Amino acid sequence: MTAFIGRKMISMGISAMSLNQPLVRSRVFASRAYSSAAKEMTVRDALNSAIDEEMSADSKVFLMGEEVGEYQGAYKISKGLLDKYGPDRVLDTPITEAGFAGIGVGAAYYGLKPIVEFMTFNFSMQAIDHIINSAAKSNYMSSGQISVPIVFRGPNGAAAGVGAQHSQCYAAWFAACPGLKVLSPYSSEDARGLLKAAIRDPDPVIFLENELLYGESFPVSAEVLDSSFFVPIGKAKIEREGKDVTITTFSKMVGYALKAADVLVKEGISAEVINLRSIRPLDRSTINDSVRKTNRLVTVEEGFPQHGVGAEICACVVEESFEYLDAPVERITGADVPMPYAANLERLAVPQIEDIVRAAKRACYRSVPMAATA
């Protein structure tokens, strides 16, 4: 394995002498303005273009995972990359997440920038030792001498009829671990900008995509399409401004929250929708500023109710903005069960638009039918 990494580094122009030099941490800083939309792009194409541009700009970046090469990715995220960059930089791996995640972490130790694709984040459990004990902890344990610039990416959360072992949301799991950054895009702008930032970051990044969003198209501006564009890690986006209630969420649930806001405005409730983008670090200031304006909070996530992202947001608001709250915080989560396979039960296990509407109305002390509160 060491020989493999060494050969790969030399092939990318990194001298053998540099293998013994301490790795210096660098920081990604971003300050971008956003211009008006010019065209549309799917989330799939946004991810593909981000990987392509970062591989083109930096020879240390490479992609590895199951079927990322010849098959062009299980979800076609890596379409065209093998033909452009060759098998030395687009590596098809066996079905052994623990094996190729370990190779990726080892390569990152020596200055390469691996993008490790999991066919679903459920399979990252096979590689959890490398992610947590190797990637996440090494910088602290080495007193900052070792950086681990690696991205673990793939679909996370519920899809459609794929069962409990392919549908879990791992945002809260990984966000609980020091040393990791955890990102979860919603739109094409998010996907493109956040993935670029993740690849450039000196620390390990968990990049949680959503299978059902890959084919969705979103408006993108000329600035978003520029190769220098990226979205700052740790900065949320206010997708819709409002004055009566704050709704925080991420990934696919952002779309649900925006649709819920459309329903609420017809009933005289103005909802502010915050797209978290970054789960760790969490943009506490944007959340608290919004709650201090609206005085109410609803958190939405697909994950389990106990020890979730919403619970952390609730704690953050109680710690910093408790005196501004005019109502108890409402948490909307997935059901506290493994994901059912049957379509009717699957729908009941995942938050729906009507759930968000009811929670926002409760927070605003609007009447909610008894059946809706059950």
**Which residues does the annotation mark as catalytic?**
97, 166
Q: Which helix (H) or strand (E) holds 371?
A: helix 370-373
* C-alpha to C-alpha distance for 213 and 182, rounded to whole angstroms: 18
Directed axis angle between helix 253-265 and helix 353-363, to 10°?
50
Helix/strand/coil for 26? coil
* Spatial distance between the Cα atoms of 64 and 91, rounded to a whole number of angstroms: 5
Q: 31 near 136, Cβ under 8 Å? A: no
Half-sphere exposure of 243 (CA within 13 A, CB side): 1
Q: Which amino acid is at 120?
A: T
SS3 state of residue 110: coil
Output the CA torsion sign for 149, 151, 152, 156.
Answer: positive
Q: Is 250 exposed, middle or buried (0-12, 13-18, 19+ CB in 10 A)?
A: buried
- The residue whose two tokens read 């009717």 is 344
Structure tokens of 161? 């009829």
